Each structure stands twice: as structure tokens, then as C-alpha cells.
């Protein structure tokens, strides 16, 4: 869990990021989870668009996706979700708190 200051810092970093993927009418697939997991390993912080066609509430969808990714849900802003997971790779510039 993050403190409010850490969460605010991550939201600030994510504000200039472009979404790396989107969840649409197909919902959360294994391929999407694998793609986002790879993106988290490479970046540690990702933004995902949750399309209305997904049919589920954005908050619930983001929480379910965070569980599947074993990542921390930083925030859900409208139909965008921000996820964080510390990378195990050594060649990645880690986000410091």
C-alpha cells in the first residue's frame, strides 16, 4: 500500500504518460494480462484505458486487473487506470519514493 504522498507522486508521473493498452468488449484476456505484465516489468508504471464496451464498472475492472497482474492499483481516473509494480529487472530505472 502507498501513502497518499506516494500515490500522488505516481499519479503525477502517470499524468503525462500515454495509455499502453485498452480493455474493450473482449474484457481481460490472457494475452492482455501478459502484455501488461511485460509493460510493468519494463516501466513499473502503466496507464490503461478501460473502454465502456467492457461492460463493467471501471473501478471493479481495474481492481480485477490489478489482482491478475499482481500489481498495485494507483488510481482510476474516469476510464483510465494506473498500475504500479516494482520491476525485478536490474536494467530498469526504478521509481524511488
pLDDT level of residue 65 (50, 70, 90 thresholds): very high
pLDDT level of residue 56 (50, 70, 90 thresholds): confident
Task: Indicate if the pLDDT at residue 97 is higher than 80.
Answer: no
Q: In the chain, which residue ranges form alpha helices assigned H by DSSP? A: 4-14, 30-43, 58-69
Global pTM? Answer: 0.93
Topology at the third CATH level for domain 4-84? Translation Initiation Factor IF3 (3.30.110)
- What is the chain's alpha carbon radius of gyration, rounded to the nearest angstrom? 13
Mean pLDDT of 43-67: 94
Q: Which residues contact 5 (CB under 8 A, 6 or more apart)?
A: none
Share of the chain above pLDDT 70, in %: 100
Task: Indicate if the pLDDT at residue 72 is higher than 90.
Answer: yes
What are the extents of the domains in the chain?
4-84
Amino acid at each position: 500500500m502507498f501513502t497518499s504522498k506516494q500515490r500522488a507522486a505516481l499519479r503525477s508521473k502517470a499524468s503525462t504518460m500515454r495509455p499502453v493498452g485498452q480493455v474493450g468488449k473482449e474484457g481481460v484476456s490472457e494475452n492482455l494480462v501478459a502484455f501488461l505484465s511485460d509493460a510493468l516489468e519494463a516501466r513499473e508504471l502503466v496507464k490503461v484505458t478501460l473502454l465502456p464496451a467492457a461492460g463493467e464498472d471501471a473501478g471493479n475492472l481495474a481492481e480485477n486487473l490489478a489482482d491478475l497482474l499482481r500489481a498495485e492499483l494507483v488510481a482510476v481516473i474516469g476510464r483510465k487506470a494506473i498500475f504500479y509494480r516494482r520491476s525485478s529487472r536490474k536494467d530498469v530505472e526504478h521509481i524511488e519514493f
